[in-house]
Amino acid sequence: MTARFVTSAVSQFSSMGKLKPNAPTAAKLTNSAKSYRYLTSVVHRSKLLKNMFSKFIPKLFIALILITASCASRIAGDSNDLVVAKRIIDGDTIEVFDAAGNEYKVRLIGIDTPERNACGFVEAGMRLSALILNHEVKLITGGTDDRDRFGRLLRYVDLGDTDTGLLLIQEGFAVARFDSRDRDYPKHDRESEYIKADLGSSNFCE
């Protein structure tokens, strides 16, 4: 439309003697009009894109947050992630760091070790420390709640093919506990093996 308008105006002004462009000049005016129309359409499309993104950017932002949260929470559900045991709190609780530097407190599933000031407290912590401190371990879910009431991840902690919780039971540093025999806890995946090991081992303090 703009190109036709410019061409028509040139013709009208020429007939009135107010403008007598030669052919190349008229062609340039017509091409300029076409260029203007193209630029206008680009701007128009840009506005449409701007309006479109203004509607979808909040949704995209929310989606990115959810994706980020999902990636950050993979450690809570993905049994293929390796983490590094950076601190041994006691014989059944540790702190780990993932590859991104995120810190998690982990409570080993299905075992219990002596509390502070009780016989075996120091020894259980030292044994777990000797096994996994500063080593890569695998956190594995076990059919229980994802976290306990203190916010700690509930996981089996495997060092290679070694179930460290089971080993602590076998060596007498821990007992099988917090399983389906306790009214408030569900059955966990390795419960039968843990109970069997507990029945066949001698407690460190006995």
How many folded domains does the chain comprise?
2
Query: Do 103 and 195 sit in the same domain of this protein?
Result: yes
Residue 67 has pLDDT above 90, yes or no: no
Which residues span the domain enclosing 59?
A: 2-72
Query: Do 13 and 54 sit in the same domain of this protein?
Result: yes
| 25 Cβ contact list (under 8 Å, min separation 6) | none
Q: How confident is the model at residue 184 (pLDDT cuts 50, 70, 90)?
A: confident
DSSP assignment of 100-150 = T--EEEEEETTEE-PPTTSTTHHHHHHHHHHHHTTSEEEEE--SS-SB-TT
pLDDT of residue 20: 45
Residue 204 within a domain: no
Q: Enter the pTM of the model.
A: 0.64
Query: Do 142 and 67 sit in the same domain of this protein?
Result: no
pLDDT tens-digit map of 6-35? 445 445 444 444 444 445 444 544 555 565
Provide the terminal-to-terminal Cα distance of the chain, rounded to the nearest Å.
Answer: 98
Cα–Cα distance, 45 to 78 (Å, whole number): 44
Query: Do 58 and 87 sit in the same domain of this protein?
Result: no
